[in-house]
Structure formats: structure tokens, C-alpha cells
């Protein structure tokens, strides 16, 4: 079995992750999951970069001990990665003893090679970049990335003879054109190497926060040297030679384009100095922009990943970032576009397909589909080609093209339904076999597409596979399982819509959690068209059509699943930092509950106290701006208008059911 050791950059913890840093982890996770699907033994490592001065300053600013602060932030980062379904195998923190051992071991090897020498550094230093800057790097005296004035420092430092490795680096780049991708990064770094490399400072004086130089505890190791070594210390360098032997060299470092120089020049030179093999490949991805700027906490353009997860769940976000941004280039995140793509790719396209095939399988075949004596139709060819293209694109890290390949099967299956018209075949008894084959083919196409989507949308693709009767465990599936099959009976599961359109939901259904997430979230206070207000249908909800097609209507049994109750508001207060949310304590007759409702634009909290309203009593609780909302208040949301609470003409006691 081939092995694949994959890493991401380790994050500074002076602030929470944002959608830009999360993008990197999602992209790397897609690669890790794809490699597992392709049968590799994968080791996927992420971590936190904790010895930065920024982290130290931030801890002081919030009055915490730096290590306690890092512990707290590690928990916050891990929570975000968990919610995004990132499947890392190990998570390294640079304050861990195993890392310290690895860093000191490597620096000792560099020293033994005669590559570390004492000197003085005088010049600019940008703490946000944690980088020494030359005058020519600055724009109007400011760091061009952080737009802040760097510090002028003069201190005793240890230096690394980077210049000694200039020729060896050049030779490595020409012998291994794949070492740094995409080409734009490679060309940039080649130019840098050609322009001549200076020796670099690898320690800082007068600081307590960091790993001491092995021979001089008064100096700490420069945070970038410390951080880069995580890729080795995470696989046992300095502590566990067997592990190190097993995984090093890394197969791929996934990093952002702003830190290519550290990874493609300094890091390989450090490894050459220590006599260790170089990583096989470095991928420098582009930036996620928001409002035309690099998404960044310091620039105030950061989006909280959990806000985006709360909108529709993790998978629509993962799909958006992977499919809409060419991996290697820059891309934009906007709430409007995110919502549009959700509707187009998921609600209208994939979700619709999954619902339709399940509904038709039940209507025409009692939920059981089997191949007939007919040969598979044209979908088999489309799927076969898409699988080949997907594999080629994934292997080249063209993640967006691989996602598009999977969606080509989805498009083709929707078109196939439209052109074969199963409902017409069902009316003609002589076409029974053909109908059976058409339905089987569509279900098979969905199965193949879902396997290809497993790395991108793991939870949803697994659910789709279950719905189309795939009985094997998702973790056991491999790429060859995406080969078209013309055998076996498929028992199709009947279930709720996976991804209902966001703006076309007039009434909630009881167990439709995705809809609910979409409808209730309102944490984006910056969006041009604000997403649906919490606990009420979206502001853009069109008036419910009196002539909705029969397929969209629900039965009385469906409706009765929704437990609507009269409740009385006991207390109300605005949710801090939210324009729309109000926290309500309500009396439901038998118990009291806390709800969060997106009605602050229409009501003052005081005016709500004592009021009788209607709530969905059996809705699963959901967190909104950190507050658990245990139910949902009903309100009418006229197109473009503000929500109006549903109420009564007469007094009705709390707890009364509404039908």
C-alpha cells in the first residue's frame, strides 16, 4: 500500500480560525480523503503555531498565562475543525515536548554541519508576519501584507548559512519540477533564488516565549524555524525514529502562497543542512478574498467558519470552497454567491436528483431497483468518463475540476430523467422493463457520483449512498467501487429533502434540520442580502402559492408531525453583537424554555414580554450566536419586509396545541 504523508500550515493562535485559514484545511482534507479513497495509507497532520510574539502579546492582552491561552485556543481550533469534518490523523502544537525535542535536535544537526553562526541583526521586523523585512519589501514604510509599521530591531542573533544552499536549491528545483506547484509559485521562487540568497537570522534575543537555542538558552529559536520543524517533529523526529522512518519525507505540504518562501527556500535548505530528505511536493494555494481583500483578522475581513457552517451545515461550505475556487488561484467568498451555489448545485441539482430517484423508485417499484436484461443506457459512459477525469484531476490537485467531474454525472442523470420521462414509461405496460432499467441507471449514476463526492462532502455523500442502497460501509469504499455496476438489487431509502431551496420554504417541516439551519441562521450581519432571520422564515420568502403542485404538498400526517404550541414570553433581551436576534424565555405551560428569534428589527425586547406567540415545540435545539435555541417562534415574513409574529385575537393559555 502506498503511503501519503500530508500536512497543512500550522496556524497562529492569536485569533480564531477564519474562512481563509479554514479553506486550506478543507482543501487538504479533500486531498487526504481522496488519497484514502484511492487506497493510500494516509497520515494527515495539522497543528497550531504557538511561539509567535503575537500569541504571547495576545495572551498578555487578555490577561492569561501564554500556555493557558494556547490551551484554550487549541480547544477552539479543534472545535472548528471538527465542525468542518476535517479528518486529520494528528494535531501538533509547538509547545508540546515532542516538538521541542525535534526542534532542538534539528538545530543541533545544523550547528554540527557548521551552518549556524553568531552575529548581529539590525533591521525591520514585522511581528504579524514574524519576518525580517528589507527596506525594499515595504510599501510606504509599511508591511504590504499587514499594513502596519514594522519594528526596528538590533540584537544578537544566530544566523543560518542559507547562501551556502543556493546552488543546491537551484539544482533541486530543476531536477524536480514538481517540487513546488502551481507553476506561478515555482517561477516566483526560482526568481528569488536566482537573485541571490542572504544568510538569515534564526534566533531572537531577549524573549522568554519560544524554544531555547540548544547551546544558548538566552536566545530563543526564530518562530519560523521552530514552526517549520513541526512537519518532522509530528512524525517522531527527535523522539521516535521508527515513526520518522515510516513517514518522512512528507509527500505534500499544503500552504498559502504568502508563506511559500519559508517552505520552498528556507525549509529545504534547513533539511539539506541537517542531511535529511526533502518533502516531495509543496502546494501553494491562493487566498480567499472577502470584499476584494485577502480574508484576514488583522484587516477586518474575516468570516467566522462556524457562521458559514451554521448556514447550511459543513458540506455546502466545503463544496463551495472547493468547486468555486480553482485550487492554486484566489477566490471570493460572498454570502450571496454561497447561497446561490447552494440553491443551484445542491437544492436544484444534486438534492433534487436524490429526491426524485427515491420518489420514483417507491412510486413505480416499491423502493426496490434491479437491473434488467437491457444494457445500461448512456449514463454508464458519462459516469465512466467522469470517474477517469476525476481521478486525473484529483491526482493533479485540480480539486475544482474533480468536483465538476462528479457534478457532470449529476447533470447527466437529471437530463436523463427529463429525456426518458419515467412517468410516461410507467403509463405504458410494455415499457416496464425499460422503466426499470432507466431507474436503476439513475440510481447507479447517483451512487457513482456520491462516491466521487465523498472526499468533498463526506457526511452528505455518505447519506446519499445510504439512500441509494449502498450497503457497504463508507469507510470501506475505494475508487474502484465507483466503477459502473449492472448487478444487485438496490433498496432505496425514503427520506426528507436533503437540501431544500433556501428562499422557497413557506412552512417548516418537523425533522428538516438542513432547512432549519438555513432558515434560522442570521449571524451574518454584513451580508448584502441578509440571510433568513433566525427562528422565522427567510425575509425573502415568497407568498405561499395557493396552487402549489401536488408533489410539493404534504399530507395531514406530515403536518401533524409539527408540534405547534401557544407560549407566553416571560423575558426578552437582545443578543449581543447581533442586529436581528432576540433571546426569549417562554412559558409553554408544562415547562419553560429559551429560544432565539430573528425579530429584533421588528420588536423591542420589552414589548415582547407578556405576549402570547406560537412556537414549533418539537424542533431539535440549535445554537445561534452561542445560545442554544430550544424551538422556533412563528412569524410571517413578507417579501422584503420585517417579520410579524403570529398571535391570537383572544387569550389562549400557554401549552395549547395549534393545528
Shortest Cβ distance from residue 288 to ligand ME8 (Å)?
4
Residue among 54 and 111 whose Cβ is closer to ligand ME8: 54
Closest CB to ligand ME8 among 261 and 565? 261
Cell of 596: 432565539
CB contact set of 273 (below 8 Å; sequence gap of 6+): 109, 110, 113, 115, 160, 161, 164, 165
Residue nearest to ligand ME8 (CB): 256
Rounded CA-CA distance 343/372 in Å is: 34
Element (H, E) at 42: strand 41-49
Rounded to a whole number of angstroms, the minimum distance from the CB of residue 227 to ligand ME8 is 4
Shorter beta-carbon distance to ligand ME8: residue 223 or 498: 223
CB-based contact 71:489 (threshold 8 Å): no
Task: Write down the least CB distance from residue 283 to ligand ME8, Å.
Answer: 10
Name, in order, each residue with C-beta under 8 angstroms of 33's C-beta and a sequence gap of 6 or more: 87, 454, 455, 458
CB closer to ligand ME8, 181 vs 432: 181
**b (16+ CB within 10 A) / e for 496-526:** ebbbbbbbebeebbbebebbbbbbbbbbbee
- Say which residues have a Cβ less than 8 Å from residue 567's Cβ, sequence separation at least 6: 586, 587, 588, 589, 593, 612, 613, 614, 615, 654, 655
- Write down the residue that cell numbers 516566483 correspond to: 188
**Distance separating alpha carbons of residues 239 and 242, to the nearest angstrom:** 9
Q: Is residue 477 packed enough to be buried (19+ CB in 10 Å), middle (13-18) or exposed (0-12)? A: buried
Contact residues for ligand ME8, defined by CB under 6 A: 9-12, 20-21, 23-24, 49, 227-228, 230, 255-256, 258-259, 287-288, 294-296
CA 573 to centroid of chain Cα atoms: 32
CB of residue 208 to ligand ME8, shortest distance in Å? 20
Query: Between residues 45 and 535, which has the closer beta carbon with respect to ligand ME8?
Result: 45
Residue 213 CB, shortest distance to ligand ME8, in Å, is: 19
Measured at the CA of 527, the angle between CA 523 and CA 531, to 5 degrees, comes to: 55
User: Which is nearer to ligand ME8, 107 or 380 (by Cβ)?
Assistant: 107
Beta carbon of residue 330, minimum distance to ligand ME8 (angstroms, whole number) = 8
416 φ/ψ angles, rounded to the nearest 5 degrees = -65, -40
- In the complex, the smallest distance separating the C-beta of residue 52 from ligand ME8, rounded to whole angstroms, is 7
To the nearest whole angstrom, how small is the minimum distance from the Cβ of residue 47 to ligand ME8?
9
Name the residue nearer to ligand ME8 (CB basis): 114 or 144.
Answer: 144
- The rounded distance, in Å, linking the Cα atoms of 546 and 559 is 17
From the centroid of its chain, how far is CA 656?
A: 42
Q: How far is CA 519 from CA 344, 604, 623, in A?
A: 17, 22, 13
Q: Which is nearer to ligand ME8, 36 or 253 (CB)?
A: 253
Q: Which residue's entry shows cell 403570529? A: 646
Nearest alpha-carbon partner for 359 in 514, 445, 468: 468
CB 591 within 8 A of CB 607: no
What is the nearest approach in angstroms of ligand ME8 to the Cβ of residue 126? 12
Which residue has 520543524 as its cell numbers?
229
When the beta carbons of 230 and 602 are compared against ligand ME8, the nearer one is 230
Whichever of 283 and 617 has its CB closer to ligand ME8, that residue is: 283
Judged by beta carbon, residue 255 or residue 625, the one nearer ligand ME8 is 255
Q: Nearest approach, Cβ of 320 to ligand ME8 (angstroms)?
A: 14
- Strand pairing class (627-629; 622-624): antiparallel
As measured in angstroms, the least distance from the Cβ of 321 to ligand ME8 is 10
| Residue (227 or 615) nearer to ligand ME8, CB | 227
The answer to whether the beta carbons of residues 48 and 94 sit under 8 Å apart is: yes
Based on DSSP, count helices (H) and strands (E) in the chain, helices before strands. 23, 29
Closest approach, Cβ 648 to ligand ME8, in A, equals 50
Residue 197 in grid coordinates: 540568497
How far from 99 is each of 43, 102, 250, CA to CA, in Å?
17, 5, 17
Using the minimum distance from each CB to ligand ME8, give the nearer residue, 254 or 309: 254
Q: How near is the Cβ of 145 to ligand ME8 at its closest, in Å?
A: 10
How many alpha carbons lie under 13 Å from residue 502 in its C-beta half-sphere?
31
In this structure, the dihedral spanned by the alpha carbons of residues 449, 450, 456 and 458, taken in order and rounded to 10 degrees, is: 180
Taking the complex as a whole, the smallest distance from the CB of residue 293 to ligand ME8 amounts, in Å, to 9
Q: How far apart are CA 235 and CA 44, in angstroms?
A: 11
Q: How far is the CB of 232 from ligand ME8 (least distance, A)?
A: 11
Judge residue 349's burial from the number of C-beta atoms within 10 Å of its C-beta, 0-12 exposed, 13-18 middle, 19 or more buried.
middle
Maximum Cα–Cα distance across the chain: 90
Residue closer to ligand ME8 by CB (options 104, 602) is 104
Amino acid at each position: 500500500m502506498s503511503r501519503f504523508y500530508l500536512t497543512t500550515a500550522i496556524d497562529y493562535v492569536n485569533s480564531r480560525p477564519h474562512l481563509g485559514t479554514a479553506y486550506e484545511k478543507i482543501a487538504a482534507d479533500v486531498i487526504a480523503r481522496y488519497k484514502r479513497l484511492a487506497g493510500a495509507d494516509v497520515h494527515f497532520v495539522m497543528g497550531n503555531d504557538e511561539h509567535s510574539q503575537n500569541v504571547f502579546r495576545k495572551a498578555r492582552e487578555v490577561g492569561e498565562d501564554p500556555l493557558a491561552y494556547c490551551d484554550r485556543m487549541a480547544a477552539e481550533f479543534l472545535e472548528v475543525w471538527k465542525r468542518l469534518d476535517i479528518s486529520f490523523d494528528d494535531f501538533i502544537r509547538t509547545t508540546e515536548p515532542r516538538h521541542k525535542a525535534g526542534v532542538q535536535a534539528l538545530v543541533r544537526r545544523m550547528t554540527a554541519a557548521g551552518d549556524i553562526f553568531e552575529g548581529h541583526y539590525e533591521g525591520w521586523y514585522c511581528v504579524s508576519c514574524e519576518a525580517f523585512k528589507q527596506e525594499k519589501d515595504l510599501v510606504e514604510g509599511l508591511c504590504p501584507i499587514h499594513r502596519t509599521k514594522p519594528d526596528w530591531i538590533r540584537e544578537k542573533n544566530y544566523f543560518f548559512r542559507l547562501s551556502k544552499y543556493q546552488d543546491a536549491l537551484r539544482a533541486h528545483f530543476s531536477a524536480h519540477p514538481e517540487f513546488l506547484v502551481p507553476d506561478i509559485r515555482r517561477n516566483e521562487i526560482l526568481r528569488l533564488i536566482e537573485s541571490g540568497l542572504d544568510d538569515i537570522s534564526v534566533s531572537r534575543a531577549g524573549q522568554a516565549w519560544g524554544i531555547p537555542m540548544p547551546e544558548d538558552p538566552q536566545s530563543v529559536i526564530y518562530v519560523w524555524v521552530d514552526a517549520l520543524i513541526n512537519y518532522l517533529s509530528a512524525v517522531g523526529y527527535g523522539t521516535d525514529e521508527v515513526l520518522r522512518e515510516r513517514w518522512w519525507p512528507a509527500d505534500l505540504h499544503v500552504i498559502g502562497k504568502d508563506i511559500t518562501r519559508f517552505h520552498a527556500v528556507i525549509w529545504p535548505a534547513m533539511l539539506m543542512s541537517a542531511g535529511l530528505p526533502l518533502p516531495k511536493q509543496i502546494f501553494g494555494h491562493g487566498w480567499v478574498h472577502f470584499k476584494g481583500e485577502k480574508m484576514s483578522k488583522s484587516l477586518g475581513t474575516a468570516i467566522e467558519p462556524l457562521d458559514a457552517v451554521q448556514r447550511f451545515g459543513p458540506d455546502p461550505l466545503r463544496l463551495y470552497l472547493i468547486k468555486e475556487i480553482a485550487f492554486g488561484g484566489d477566490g471570493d467568498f460572498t454570502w450571496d454567491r454561497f447561497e446561490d451555489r447552494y440553491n443551484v448545485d445542491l437544492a436544484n441539482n444534486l438534492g433534487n436528483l436524490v429526491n426524485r430517484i427515491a420518489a420514483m423508485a417507491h412510486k413505480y417499484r416499491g423502493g426496490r431497483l434491479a437491473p434488467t436484461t437491457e444494457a445500461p443506457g448512456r449514463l454508464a459512459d458519462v459516469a465512466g468518463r467522469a470517474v477517469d477525469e476525476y481521478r486525473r484531476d484529483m491526482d493533479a490537485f485540480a480539486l475544482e475540476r474533480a468536483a465538476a467531474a462528479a457534478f457532470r454525472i449529476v447533470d447527466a442523470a437529471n437530463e436523463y430523467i427529463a429525456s426518458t420521462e419515467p412517468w410516461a414509461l410507467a403509463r405504458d405496460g410494455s415499457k416496464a422493463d425499460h422503466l426499470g432499467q432507466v431507474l436503476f441507471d439513475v440510481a447507479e449514476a447517483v451512487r457513482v457520483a456520491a462516491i466521487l463526492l465523498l472526499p468533498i462532502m463526506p457526511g452528505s455523500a455518505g447519506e446519499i449512498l445510504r439512500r441509494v442502497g449502498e450497503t457497504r460501509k463508507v469507510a470501506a469504499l475505494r475508487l474502484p467501487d465507483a466503477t459502473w455496476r449492472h448487478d444487485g438489487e438496490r433498496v432505496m431509502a425514503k427520506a426528507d429533502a436533503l437540501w431544500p431551496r433556501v428562499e422557497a420554504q413557506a412552512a417548516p417541516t418537523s425533522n428538516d434540520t438542513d432547512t432549519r439551519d438555513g432558515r434560522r441562521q442570521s449571524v451574518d450581519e454584513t451580508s448584502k442580502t441578509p440571510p433568513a432571520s433566525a427562528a422565522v422564515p427567510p425575509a425573502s420568502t415568497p407568498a405561499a402559492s395557493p396552487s402549489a403542485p401536488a408533489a410539493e404538498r404534504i399530507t395531514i400526517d406530515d403536518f401533524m408531525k409539527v408540534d405547534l404550541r401557544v407560549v407566553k414570553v416571560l423575558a426578552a433581551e437582545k443578543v449581543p453583537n447581533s442586529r436581528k436576534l432576540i433571546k426569549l424565555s417562554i412559558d409553554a405551560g408544562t415547562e419553560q424554555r429559551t429560544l432565539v428569534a430573528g425579530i429584533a428589527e421588528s420588536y423591542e425586547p420589552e414589548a415582547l414580554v407578556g405576549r402570547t406567540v406560537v412556537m414549533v415545540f418539537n424542533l431539535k435545539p440549535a445554537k445561534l450566536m452561542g445560545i442554544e435555541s430550544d424551538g422556533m417562534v412563528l412569524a410571517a415574513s413578507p417579501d422584503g419586509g420585517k417579520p410579524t409574529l403570529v398571535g391570537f385575537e383572544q387569550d389562549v393559555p400557554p401549552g395549547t396545541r395549534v393545528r
